[in-house]
Structure 1
Amino acid sequence: MSERGGFIELERTVESITVGVRHRTEYGDLALLIASIERDGLLQPITITPDGMLVCGARRLAAITQLGWRTVNVWVRSGITDRLGALLAEQDDNVLHKPLTPTEQATLYRELKDIMAEDAAQRQAATQFGPGGKHGGESGDANLASPYTGEAGASRAQAARMVTGRASYTTLERIAHLQTLAEDPEQTEEVRQRAREELAAIETGSPVYPAFQRINAQTSIAELERIANDADADEVARHHASVAADHIRQTPADMKTAELERLATEALRRVKEQAKTKKPRPLRPAPEQDDQPVPQFPVRAFRVLWSEMANWWLHYDPADIAHALTDDEHAAFQETITGTNDFARQVAEHRATANTAQDAPAKATA
Structure 2
Amino acid sequence: MSAAVGYIELDRTVESIQVGHRHRKDMGDLDELIASIERDGLLQPITITPDGVLVCGARRLAAVRRLGWRTVNVWVRSAISDRLAHLLAEQDDNALHKALSPLEAEALYREIKQLLAEDASRRQAASRFSTDNQPGSDGGANLAPPSDPVGKRRDQAAAMIPGAPKHSTLDKIGYLRDTADDVELPDELRQQARDGLAQIDAGGAVHPIYQNVRSSIDALHADRASHLHALADEALARVKEAAKKPKPSTPKRPAAPARYAVRAFVMTWGELFAWWDRYDLDTLARELTDEQANAFYATVEGTAQAAHTLRQLRDQQPQLRAL
Q: Is the 8 A contact 2:48 2:77 kept in 1?
A: yes
CA distance in 1, matches of 2:104, 2:164: 16
Please state if 1:33 is matched with 2:33. Answer: yes
Say which of 150, 153, 157 aligns to 1:152. Answer: 150
CA distance in 1, matches of 2:232, 2:45: 64
CA distance in 1, matches of 2:35, 2:167: 37
Change (3 A) 1:92 1:277: farther
User: CA offset at residue 40 of structure 1?
Assistant: 1.0
Change (3 A) 1:125 1:76: same
Change (3 A) 1:13 1:208: same
Say which of 178, 194, 197 aligns to 2:195. Answer: 197
CA distance in 1, matches of 2:209, 2:232: 31
Q: Is the 8 A contact 2:46 2:73 kept in 1?
A: yes
CA distance in 1, matches of 2:34, 2:9: 22
Give the unaligned 5+ runs of structure 2.
135-145, 242-323
Q: Is the 8 A contact 2:102 2:165 kept in 1?
A: no
Change (3 A) 1:77 1:206: same
Task: Kindly name which structure, 1 or 2, has the bigger radius of gyration based on alpha carbons.
Answer: 1
Partner of 1:331: none
Change (3 A) 1:277 1:159: farther
Q: Which has the higher contact order (CA 8 A, sep 6+)?
A: 2
Q: Which amino acid aligns with 1:199?
A: L
Q: Is the 8 A contact 1:126 1:133 kept in 2?
A: no
Identity %: 52
Change (3 A) 1:194 1:177: same
**Deviation per residue, 1:128-154 (Å, 9 max, x gap):** 1115999xxxxxxxxxxxxx8411010
User: CA offset at residue 184 of structure 1?
Assistant: 3.3
Partner of 2:172: 174
Please give the secondary structure, in 2, of the residue aligned with 1:3.
strand
CA distance in 1, matches of 2:124, 2:36: 49
Give the unaligned 5+ runs of structure 1.
135-147, 221-262, 285-366
CA distance in 2, matches of 1:114, 1:52: 25
Partner of 2:237: 281
Change (3 A) 1:167 1:189: closer
CA distance in 2, matches of 1:43, 1:177: 41
CA distance in 2, matches of 1:277, 1:167: 47
Q: Which amino acid aligns with 1:108?
A: L
**Deviation per residue, 1:282-301 (Å, 9 max, x gap):** 799xxxxxxxxxxxxxxxxx
Change (3 A) 1:268 1:157: farther
What TM-score, normalized by structure 2, do the two folds share?
A: 0.65
What TM-score, normalized by structure 1, do the two folds share?
A: 0.57
User: CA offset at residue 279 of structure 1?
Assistant: 3.8
User: CA offset at residue 198 of structure 1?
Assistant: 1.1
User: CA offset at residue 3 of structure 1?
Assistant: 1.6
Q: Is the 8 A contact 1:161 1:167 kept in 2?
A: no
**Deviation per residue, 1:79-136 (Å, 9 max, x gap):** 11110110111011111211100000000000000000000011111111115999xx
Task: Figure out how many residues of one structure are paired with residues of the other and give that number.
Answer: 229
